[in-house]
């Protein structure tokens, strides 16, 4: 499903309305612009493939009341509010009432476009999840299945949903420990094949003399030890999904047979001349670059092109470090249940050590680290050597205040750039600023302070 590149814009100031429309049109969004909410509401309905951008202060109906009307129509429709007030209380109130995000004047085009782009991606996932839920009683939320809200994971989830119902073979590209089998299972779960079998086989874990029997099956007596007929993995996965991990380890003889199955849609069991039709979707993964394996002759090039109709790149944990706290919390919770003991409290210095670690083993290594933390044998987390111990809360508050203060100074109080640099949602930044009584206006340069006052008077 494509992004909902349609924006409903409501702004009573004609000059600003025309300016915002032009900015959005230049980035290939379609825009329906209105001067009042009353004219915009009839254009919205449940499952509208749009997002809404609206001013707060308008004569006929304020933006928050307008947002409530919209959320009565569809509570999940992203609604972005704009105000001339540099007021944290107002921003927090807007978010509490259900706004997707809050923008303050003067508007910076790149910030507006960044938020609108995030809102459209969010809407796409919402609508796709609704569709899948309506079609499958076994629906599981993709966010539950794949933990993480970093940009890398949002992009992965979006592409995954696109490919799930594309009935083509897929190659997964990712380092060891990035969760290739979990991604393969998600592709199956969110596909039209989800009611049929998902069959996973690790080609590198099977002896060469058994892999053909495992994949294609065999007839009784076809070789020594074949005491009865066996249905192979490919035949068993017919109608569903076959996941072949470490496929570069597959012997060339088996590669030739697999190529024929994919081309012809039929197979023969070992020791049989009978042809069996199969409906096959193959997801494959390799520890090495499968394309390089094919060009170097380690892997059949014709089979590679049959398998690589589409591909999915899985980010490393190094590329999504902002997901580490969420993942670690999930894994520690599981480890505590498994080992029946509580994990020790983690200090800010511990989190810094975790964030700074390279994680060559990716998510699998983090999962193992959660076990080591619970058992008290972690190699990554070192003792805190602070000479004046403080409570965890006090240390966290000091670190958090220092980081926010220095970043706001760096960007002259610009909320959008500060949140982007810290890689946190703007609403989280507003909450933290309120917590420490940090006022945005204290960081503005003279020019922005003057513009902010002008915008306040016009809104």
What does the pLDDT read at residue 133? 67
Residue 78, classed as helix, strand or coil, is coil
Q: What is the pLDDT of residue 30?
A: 92
CA distance 279 to 239: 5
452: tokens are: 């902010």
pTM: 0.56
Tokens of 343: 């994990």
The Cα 238–Cα 217 span in angstroms is 13
Q: If you write DSSP's letter for every residue of 177-238 in order, what string do you get?
A: TS-HHHHHHHHHHTSTTTTS-EEEEEGGGS-HHHHHHHHH-B-TTSSTT--S-B--HHHHTT
List C-alpha distances in Å: 84 to 16, 20, 257, 433.
12, 15, 67, 18
Q: What is the pLDDT of residue 259?
A: 94
Domains of the chain plus CATH, in order, are: 6-132 (3.40.50.2300), 151-313 (3.40.50.300), 317-375 (1.10.8.60)
Q: What is the pLDDT of residue 388?
A: 45
Residue 331 to residue 339: CA distance in whole angstroms: 12
pLDDT averaged per 10 residues, the chain (length 459): 76 91 91 92 88 91 90 91 74 83 86 91 85 60 82 91 92 94 94 93 85 82 68 92 94 92 90 88 92 90 95 94 85 89 76 86 94 86 51 68 82 84 83 84 67 39
Residues 49 and 123 sit within 8 Å (Cβ to Cβ): yes
Which pLDDT does position 134 carry in this prediction?
Answer: 66
Buried b (16+ CB within 10 A) or exposed e, 203-218: beebeeeebbbbbbbb
pLDDT attached to residue 301: 94
Cβ pair 212, 257 in contact under 8 A: yes
List, in order, residues 6 or more apart from 151 with CB less than 8 Å away. Answer: none
| Strands across the sheet containing 79-83 | 30-34, 6-10, 51-55, 79-83, 101-104
Alpha-carbon distances, residue 185 vs 57, 180, 364, 423 (angstroms): 48, 9, 16, 29
């Amino acid at each position: 499903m494509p992004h909902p590149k349609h924006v409903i814009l409501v702004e009573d100031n004609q000059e600003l309305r025309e300016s915002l429309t032009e900015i959005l049109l230049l980035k290939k969004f379609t825009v329906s612009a209105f001067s009042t909410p009353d004219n915009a509401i009839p254009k919205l309905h449940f499952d509208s493939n749009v997002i809404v951008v609206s001013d707060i202060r308008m004569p006929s109906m304020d933006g928050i009341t307008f947002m409530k009307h919209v959320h009565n129509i569809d509570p999940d429709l992203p609604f972005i509010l704009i105000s001339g007030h540099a007021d944290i209380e107002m921003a927090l109130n807007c978010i509490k009432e259900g706004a997707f995000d809050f923008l303050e004047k003067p508007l910076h085009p790149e910030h507006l476009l960044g938020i609108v782009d995030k809102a459209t991606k969010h809407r796409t996932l919402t609508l796709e999840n609704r569709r899948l839920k309506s079609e499958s009683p076994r629906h599981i939320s993709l966010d539950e299945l794949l933990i993480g809200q970093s940009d890398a994971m949002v992009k992965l989830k979006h592409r995954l949903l696109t490919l799930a119902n594309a009935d083509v073979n897929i190659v997964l590209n990712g380092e060891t420990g990035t969760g290739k089998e979990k991604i393969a299972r998600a592709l199956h779960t969110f596909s039209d094949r989800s009611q049929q079998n998902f069959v996973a086989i690790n080609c590198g874990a099977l002896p060469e003399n058994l892999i053909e029997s495992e994949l294609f099956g065999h007839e009784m007596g076809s070789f020594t030890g074949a005491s009865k007929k066996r249905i192979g993995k490919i035949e068993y996965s017919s109608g569903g999904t076959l996941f072949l991990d470490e496929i570069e380890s597959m012997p060339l003889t088996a590669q030739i047979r697999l190529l024929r199955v994919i081309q012809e849609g039929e197979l023969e069991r070992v020791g049989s001349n009978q042809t069996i039709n199969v409906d096959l979707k193959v997801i494959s993964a390799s520890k090495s670059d499968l394309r390089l394996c094919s060009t170097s002759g380690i892997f059949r090039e014709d089979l590679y092109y049959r398998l690589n109709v589409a591909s999915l790149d899985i980010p490393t944990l190094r590329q999504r470090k902002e997901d580490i706290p969420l993942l670690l919390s999930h894994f520690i919770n599981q480890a505590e249940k498994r080992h029946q003991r509580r994990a020790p409290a983690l200090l800010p210095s511990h989190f810094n050590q975790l964030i700074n670690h390279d994680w060559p083993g990716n998510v699998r290594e983090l999962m193992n680290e959660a076990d080591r933390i619970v058992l008290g044998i972690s190699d990554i987390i070192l003792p805190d050597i602070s000479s004046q111990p403080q409570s965890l809360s006090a240390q966290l508050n000091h670190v958090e205040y220092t980081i926010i203060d220095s970043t706001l100074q760096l960007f002259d109080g610009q909320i959008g750039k500060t949140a982007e640099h810290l890689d946190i949602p703007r609403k989280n930044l507003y909450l933290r600023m309120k917590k420490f009584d940090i006022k945005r206006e204290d960081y503005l340069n003279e020019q922005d302070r003057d513009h902010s006052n002008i915008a306040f008077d016009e809104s």
